[in-house]
């Protein structure tokens, strides 16, 4: 039984959100946090690699980075108090639309 490559790609993207958002807290004074960021980074890359064995590389990479970008932007707003402007929300929605479009029109049915 193999795991659907789209599920693998989404998990890889969520791990990208985790490590990218965690970069703000990396320091020598927080070795466990820093290790967690490193583990999430490695796991994200490995799962991206696994997904690309069945999905087109351009589609997989764009979706992975899109999930990471949207997720990190939302974490920045919710957790770190970054500005939540209307223009920023529209830009985030455009990225989401691109992710959905790439999934729908990728030609990969795995």
The label of the residue with tokens 């990208």 reads: 16
pLDDT of residue 1: 62
Cα–Cα dist 31/102, whole Å: 38
Chunked mean pLDDT (size 10), the chain, 110 residues: 90 97 90 95 98 94 95 96 96 95 77
> Greatest CA separation found in the chain?
47
How many residues are listed for the chain in this entry? 110
pLDDT of residue 106: 77
């Amino acid at each position: 039984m193999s795991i659907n490559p789209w599920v693998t790609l989404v998990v890889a993207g969520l791990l990208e959100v985790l490590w990218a958002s965690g970069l703000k807290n990396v320091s020598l004074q927080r070795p466990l946090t820093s290790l967690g960021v490193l583990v999430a980074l490695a796991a994200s890359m490995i799962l991206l690699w696994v997904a690309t064995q069945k999905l087109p590389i351009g589609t997989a990479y764009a979706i992975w980075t899109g999930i990471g970008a949207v997720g990190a932007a939302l974490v920045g707003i919710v957790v770190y108090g970054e500005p939540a402007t209307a223009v920023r929300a529209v830009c985030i929605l455009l990225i989401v639309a691109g992710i959905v479009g790439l999934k729908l029109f990728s030609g990969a049915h795995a």
